[in-house]
Structure 1
Amino acid sequence: MVLRSDPSVAVRALRSAAPYIRMYKGKVFVIKASGGVFGDIESTRTLIEQVAILHQVGIRVVLVHGGGPQLSQIQESLGITPRMVAGRRVTDEKSMEVTSMVLNGLVNTQILGICRELDIAAVGVSGVDAGLVRAHKRPPVQVEGQTVDYGLVGDIDLIDAKVLQQLLEDGLMPVVSPVSADDKGTLLNINADTVAAGIGAALKAEKLMLVTGAPGILESLEDPRSIISYTDLAGLKKLKDQGSLKDGMLPKAKAIEEAIRGGVRRVHITSYKTPDSILAEVFTNEGTGTLVVENVSALSAAEQHA
C-alpha cells in the first residue's frame, strides 16, 4: 500500500505565496551571490533553483556573481598572494588576468551550465559588454591612516543598463560578472556588491538581494543569533559607528546605501547556507536575514511585527 502525501501543505504554500507573486510579477530583482556559494556544484544548484522559481513566476531577475574564494585559490596556485584591505581586493596586472579568467570564465560559465539544466534562458555578460559598467582606475586612498593603492580596481562612473533591459524584455536572465573596463579598454576589478548596487539603481529594481555566507547583519559579531531583522540607513550608520560592521560587510554596507539612495526600494542580506533563504525573503514577511530600507516607517505593520 502506498500512502498518499498530504496535498494541503503544498496548497497552503501556494496560497500564501500568491499575493507576493501578484505584487512582484514583472518587477526587477537584482540578486548578488557571493563566490562562497559556488564552491561546490550542489550549493550552486540550490541557489539557482530558487532563482529559477522567481524567473518562472514572472519576476525579472538579474544575477550578479562574485568569485572571491575561487580567485584566491587560483592566485595561490600560481604563487600570487591575495591581499585584502578593508574587505576589498588589491589587484595587480597578473591578478587582473586571473580575475578575468575566474569570473568571466570559470564561475560565469558554471552558473550558465546549471541554468541550462534548469531550463532558464540565461545569458552571461560582464561589465565590459556593451559598456554596461563604465569605470576609472581608483586613485590611491587613505584607509585606516595608511595610503593604499588598490591597483587595477575600478570606481564606477556610469551604469548603462540598456543591454540588461533588452535581455529582460526578451525574457532572458542576465548573469553578470563584475569585471569592467575604463574608456581605454583597461580591465578593472570592481567589487561585485558595488556593481550589483549600481545595476539595481540603474534599473530602479524593486529589490537588491545580497546572498552571502553571513546570516544577515549581526548586532554583535560574536553572537550569530543576533541577526537584525530590519533596519534603515540611519540604523546602518549606527551599526558601522559602533563597530558591528567589519571586513566584507563594510563594502556591502556602502553598496546598500548607494542602492537605496539610487532608487532601490528594499535591500535584503541573507545566507546561502540557510535553506530556501531567497524564497523565504521574497514570499514571507518574516524572511531569514536582514531587510534594509530608507526609513523603517515605510514598512507595513505586519513586516515590523514579523
Structure 2
Amino acid sequence: MDPQAAMNVARVLTEALPYIRRFAGKTVVIKYGGNAMVDETLKNGFARDIALMKLVGINPVVVHGGGPQIGQLLARIGKESRFVDGMRVTDAETMDVVEMVLGGLVNKQIVDLINRHGGRAVGLSGKDAGLIRARRMTLRDAADDVVDIGQVGEVAHIDPGIVTLLDQADFIPVIAPIGVGEDGCAYNINADLVAGKVAEVIGAEKLMLLTNTAGVLDRDGRLLTGLSPEQVARLIDDGTIHGGMLPKIACALSAVRNGVRASHIVDGRVEHAVLLELFTDAGVGTLIRG
C-alpha cells in the first residue's frame, strides 16, 4: 500500500471511531431489499458490512424482502402476479411460493453470504418461536367495499425473545417477514413494516431502510437529512414527499415516535451503504431523528 492510500485508510478509521464507540452494544435493525439484494457486488458489500458491525460490537438484525424473487418463481410455474394498492394478492398457492422463497431460498442465501464474510448469521421466519403474530390486512375500494387480497398480513405482535437470545449469543438474526395468525394461517407481511415493528419492540438504536433511491429529496432534487418528525410532516403536507416514498416514511416515523432513536432511509445502490451511513459524517441517505 502506498503512503497516500495508507493515509486515506487512517482518515476513514479516525472518522469512524467516534461512531463505533457511540453504537457499541446497541442494536440496529436493517431492512434489506431492492438492488442491494440482486447486484452481486452490492450483495457481498452488504454481507461484509453486517459482519463488520457485529465484530465491532454492534448488534445488527436483518429483515429482508424478496418480491422480485417471488415474482420470478410464480412466473416459472405459470402463475400471474396480481397487485392491489401495491400489495401482492396472496392466495394459498401463492403463499406456499412466498414461504419457499422468503423463508427458504432468499433467507438462506443471505445467511450463507454473511457467514462466508465472517459473521455468524441465523435464519428465522416470523413463525419461529412466535416471533411475528399477524392479522389479515383489510383493504377497501372506492365504494368502501372490502377487497380480498388473501393471506396478506399486518403485524399484530412481536415477541423479541428469540432475537434477543441470538444477539446475546453473538449471532446475527436474519428474519423473513412471514407471520402466523390466530387462525394458524401464514401471512405475507411487508418487510418495511416488520423491520419497523421489530425495531420498536426491541428498543433499537436505529432503523435503516435500504431502498433504490437516494433518500428524501427536496423540490430541487437535493438530499434532505437530519429531519425531525415535524419537518417530515410539513414535507408530506406540501407534497415534497409523495408516492412510493410515503409508506417508507410512515414506517420510519412510527419507529422514532415509538422509542427508536433514529430512522434512516438509505441508498442501497451505493456499495457499503450501511457502513457509510453509520460511520461517516456525510452518510448516504436521509436521517430522521427521534
- Give the deviation of 1:125 after TM superposition: 0.3
Equivalent residue letter for 1:227 = L
- Give the deviation of 1:4 after TM superposition: 5.8
Give unmatched runs, 5+ long, in structure 1: 295-306
Deviations 1:68-93 (A, max 9, x none): 11112222222322233333333222
Give unmatched runs, 5+ long, in structure 2: none
Q: Percent identity?
A: 38
Structure 1 distance, partners of 2:168, 2:140, is 40
Deviations 1:38-74 (A, max 9, x none): 2243321111111222111110010110011111222
**Are the aligned partners of 2:42 and 2:270 in contact in 1 as well (CA < 8 Å)?**
no
Equivalent residue letter for 1:278 = V
| Matched residue, 1:303 | none
**Are the aligned partners of 1:215 and 1:274 in contact in 2 as well (CA < 8 Å)?**
no
Indicate whether 1:131 and 2:162 are aligned: no
Cα root mean square deviation, aligned: 2.1
Q: Per the alignment, do residues 39 and 229 of structure 1 end up closer, same or farther by CA in structure 2, a change over 3 Å counting?
A: same
| Matched residue, 1:268 | 264
| Matched residue, 1:62 | 61
Structure 1 distance, partners of 2:281, 2:143, is 39
| Matched residue, 1:89 | 88
Q: Per the alignment, do residues 189 and 167 of structure 1 end up closer, same or farther by CA in structure 2, a change over 3 Å counting?
A: same
Structure 2 distance, partners of 1:129, 1:270, is 28
Structure 1 distance, partners of 2:173, 2:103, is 13
| Greater relative CO (CA pairs within 8 A, separation 6+) | 2
Equivalent residue letter for 1:110 = Q
Structure 1 distance, partners of 2:150, 2:250, is 20
Structure 2 distance, partners of 1:283, 1:37, is 19
Indicate whether 1:233 and 2:229 are aligned: yes
- Give the deviation of 1:243 after TM superposition: 3.7
- Give the deviation of 1:255 after TM superposition: 1.2
Q: Larger deviation: 78-87 or 197-206? A: 78-87
| Matched residue, 2:165 | 166
| SS of residue paired to 2:184 | coil
**Are the aligned partners of 2:253 and 2:263 in contact in 1 as well (CA < 8 Å)?**
no
- Give the deviation of 1:260 after TM superposition: 1.4
TM-score under structure 1 normalisation? 0.88
Structure 2 distance, partners of 1:56, 1:156, is 31
Structure 2 distance, partners of 1:185, 1:115, is 32
Deviations 1:192-218 (A, max 9, x none): 000000000011000000011111122
**Are the aligned partners of 1:30 and 1:209 in contact in 2 as well (CA < 8 Å)?**
yes
Indicate whether 1:256 and 2:252 are aligned: yes
Structure 2 distance, partners of 1:252, 1:30, is 14
Structure 2 distance, partners of 1:3, 1:282, is 27
Q: Larger deviation: 266-275 or 235-244? A: 235-244
Deviations 1:148-182 (A, max 9, x none): 33321112111100110000000100001001111
Equivalent residue letter for 1:251 = P
- Give the deviation of 1:189 after TM superposition: 0.5
TM-score under structure 2 normalisation? 0.92
Q: Larger deviation: 35-44 or 17-26? A: 35-44
Equivalent residue letter for 2:48 = E
| SS of residue paired to 2:63 | strand
Structure 1 distance, partners of 2:244, 2:170, is 33
**Are the aligned partners of 1:32 and 1:65 in contact in 2 as well (CA < 8 Å)?**
yes
Structure 2 distance, partners of 1:263, 1:36, is 29
Deviations 1:19-52 (A, max 9, x none): 1111100000001111432224332111111122
**Are the aligned partners of 1:36 and 1:69 in contact in 2 as well (CA < 8 Å)?**
no
